[in-house]
Chain A
Amino acid sequence: MEHAIVRFVNEELLGGNGPRVTADDEIVLDGTVDSLGVTRLVDFIETEFKLAVPAQDVTIDNFRTITTMAAYVRTRQESAATT
C-alpha cells in the first residue's frame, strides 16, 4: 500500500522530477506537496483503495507522511470489514 502511494507521489504528483520522496518524509509539512497536491492525493486514495475519504478525515495527522496515510487507509478498511 505504501509503495503504491509513494509511486503515485513520485510519478504523478511530482511528475518524475526533483528529489524522490520516501514513505516517512513529511511531504506536506515540508511543502513538497501543496494544497492541490493534497486534493489529488485524496482522489488517488479514494480510487485506488475504493474508499470514501470524508473531508473531516483529511487532516495533518492522517496525511503527515505516506506511512500515516497508509495507516489511515488500513483503519478504515478494518472498520469497514467489521461492520
Chain B
Amino acid sequence: MDTTRHQQTYLLPQLIERAAMVDPDHVALRYRGESLTYGLLFEQASSLAHALIADGVAPGDRIGILLPKGFESAVALYGIMSAGAVYVPLDPTAPTSRVDFVIRDGGIKRIVSSSAKSAAIAELHEAGVPLEAVFGIEPTEAVPYRSVSWEEIESFPTSPPAITVTEQDLCYILYTSGSTGTPKGIMHTHRSALSWAEVTASVYGLTPHDRISNYAPLHFDLSTLDYFGGAQARATTVIIPEEYTRFPASLAGLIEEERMTVFYTVPLALVRLAAPGILDGRDLSGLRLVLFGGEPMPLKHLRTIMLELPQARFVNVYGPTETNGCTHYPVGNIPAETDEPLPIGRPYPNVEIMVADESGSPAAAGQAGELLVRAPTMMRGYWGRPDLNQGAFVLRDLHGGTPDTFHATGDLVSLSTDGNLRFLGRRDRQIKARGNRVELDEVEAVLLQHADVHEAAVYAIEDAEHSLQIHADLILTDGAVPNTTEIYTHSRSVLPPYAVPAEISIRDSFPRTSTGKIDRRALHAEAVGASSNQET
C-alpha cells in the first residue's frame, strides 16, 4: 500500500478523489436546493478531463470557464485540473471585449460553458475570438464553434486520466484589473492552491459537517477557499445563486434554510445583512464562523451583526489575490465605539511577513511601510508579464542567511507592538469598489481611448454603504460635443460593470500641481465637499 501512496501525486484533484473514496454519498455542493455528491463530482470531473484530453488538451493548456454559478463550475475546475490543464475563469458579467482580451492573452483555445451562455459565445465568435472548441453546450447554429455537449462528456470514463502533474505546475490564472488599461493574469500553482486549502481547513477547523458558503464567483479569489478549503475538509459548499447577493433578506433566508456554518464574504454583504429588520425572526444559530475580507469592514455594522449572531466567531481576513490569504484577525469582543479600523492581524502558519520602509529595510514598530510576504500560497507571477514580475518579487536576506523571494504587495501597513498588522492604504492607485479590485489608472486609460476625451482624472469617493464609488472628471477634446452617454457606453463596452465610473463630469479645467500634473486629491476633496454639502 505504501508504494502506491508514494507513486500517486497528491494535488487538488486528489482532494475530491479522496473525498469520493471515503464517503461517495457525502454532499460536496448545494445549489438551488439540489445536491451533488463527492462521488458524482469526482466522476463528472474525471469524464470532463478525458473529454478534454481526447480533444487534444495537453498539460499546461489554459482552458476558460464561462459559466454562471452552479454545479458545472465545480465540475469544470476539477475536470480541467484533472486533465493537467489550467483553469481561467471568465467573468460572465464582463463585456465581450474584455473576455476577448483574456482569451487571447491567455492563449485559451477551449472553454467550458453551458447553454445559458450561448448568446455570449455567439458574440465572441462575431468578435472573431479564435476558439477551437466549446465544452458543455449542444451543437446549435447559434454557437458557431465546434461544441461538445455535457451528454457527450458524460460518455467518457469516470475514473481519472493518468496525467503527470507536479505541484510546481500551474493550476489556475485569475485575471484582475491592470493599471495600463488591460487586465493581468495572476498565476497560481497546485502548490499555492493546495497550501491555501490546507491552511484554511486547519486554521478554521473545517470538517465534513461544515456547510461553507460560496458567495463569490469563480473569477474572484474568495471562491478558492469555498471550493478548495471545502474539499480539503470534505465539507459541503453551498453555492449562493447570484441574485441572492442583491437581496439581503433572501440571502438571510438561504443561510438559514441551508444551515450554513461558515460564511465567507466581502464586508458589503455583511453591511447589508446588518440593516434593520433583515435578520429579524431568522434562526442563524448554525453559523459558527463569519470570514470577511477584500476591503475594510465598517465597525458600526460589524457591531450590529455581531450582536445579532452572538454564537459566531468573526474574522477579518487579509491577502491579495497574488498570495491568497496572508494574515487574519479574529475579532474578540464586540469592538468598542471607535472608528479605528480593525487590524488585519497576524500571519497564518507558514507565512512570513516583513514591513519594508522606503529604503527596503525593516520598518520600526508602528512605522508605515510596504508589506512583503513569503508563503507557499504565493503566486508564480503574472502571466506573460516579465515587466510586472520584476517589481512584484523582491529578494531579502533571511536572518543573515541566504536570500529568498518575497512578494511586494503594494499595500502600506504598520506593525503594532501587539504583533498585529494594520492596513493603511496602497502605494499605487488600486482600490476596492464593492469588494472588486480596480486600478484607477486602468479606468483612466480606458476613458482616454475615447476620441472625445482629452484628459481624464479618476478618483474614488466613499458611498453610503462605506464602499467606494468611482468618479471620473474629463476635459474633452476641442470641438467635441459634451455627451457623457457615449462615454458611459464606451466604458461599459470595455470595463467590467464594477469598474465603470458611477459618475462622469465634464469640466473646462483641472486643478494642477506645481509641476502641471492633474491634482486628483483636489478633485477628490472638491467632490467630497460637494456631496457633504448636499446632505446638509
B-binding residues in A (CB < 8 A): 15, 17, 28-29, 31, 34-35, 38, 54-61, 63
Contacts and interface: CB of A to CB of B under 8 A. Distances in A.
B37 to A, nearest CB: 27
A21 to B, nearest CB: 15
Contacts of A59: 247, 249-250, 253
Nearest to B282: A56
Contact of B280 (A28, A56, A63): A56
B278 interface: yes
Given A15-B485, A17-B489, A56 B249 contact: yes
Contacts of A57: 249
B245 interface: yes
A49 to B, nearest CB: 19
Interface of B: 93, 242-250, 253, 275-278, 280-281, 485, 489, 497
Nearest to A37: B246
A11 B233 CA distance: 50
B243 A28 contact: yes
B249 A35 contact: no
Contacts of A54: 277
A55 B248 contact: yes
A17 B485 contact: yes
A63 B242 contact: no
12 contacts: A17-B485, A28-B246, A29-B243, A31-B93, A38-B246, A54-B277, A55-B248, A56-B278, A57-B249, A58-B248, A60-B247, A60-B250
A58 to B, nearest CB: 5
Nearest to A54: B277
B247 A55 contact: no
Contacts of B280: 56
Given A31-B93, A31-B242, 17 more contacts: A15-B485, A17-B485, A17-B489, A28-B243, A34-B246, A35-B245, A35-B246, A55-B276, A55-B278, A56-B277, A57-B249, A58-B249, A59-B247, A59-B249, A59-B253, A60-B244, A61-B250
Contacts of B243: 28-29, 60
Contacts of A58: 247-249
B277 A55 contact: yes
A2 B246 CA distance: 22
A29 B244 CA distance: 9
Contacts of B253: 59
Nearest to B463: A36
Contacts of A28: 243, 246-247
A38 B277 contact: no
Nearest to B281: A56
A56 B248 CA distance: 8
A59 B244 CA distance: 9
Nearest to B243: A29
A38 B250 CA distance: 13
Contacts of A31: 93, 242
Given A28-B243, A29-B243, A34-B497, A55 B249 contact: yes
A38 B247 contact: yes
Nearest to B489: A17
Contacts of B244: 60
A55 B275 contact: yes
Give the one of B242, B243, B248 with max A CB within 10 A: B243
A36 to B, nearest CB: 8
A65 to B, nearest CB: 12
A59 B253 CA distance: 9
A25 to B, nearest CB: 13
A42 to B, nearest CB: 11
A34 B242 CA distance: 11
B242 to A, nearest CB: 7
Most central of B93, B247, B248 by chain A CB within 10 Å: B247
B335 to A, nearest CB: 24
Nearest to B254: A60
A35 B281 CA distance: 24
A63 B489 contact: no
Nearest to A60: B250
Nearest to A38: B246
B471 to A, nearest CB: 15
A35 B353 CA distance: 37
Nearest to A57: B249
Nearest to A29: B243
A56 B247 CA distance: 9
A56 B279 CA distance: 8
Contacts of A15: 485
B399 to A, nearest CB: 48
Contacts of A34: 246, 497
A55 B273 CA distance: 10
Contacts of B242: 29, 31
A28 B276 CA distance: 22
A29 B247 CA distance: 11
Contacts of B276: 55
A63 B248 CA distance: 12
Contacts of B485: 15, 17
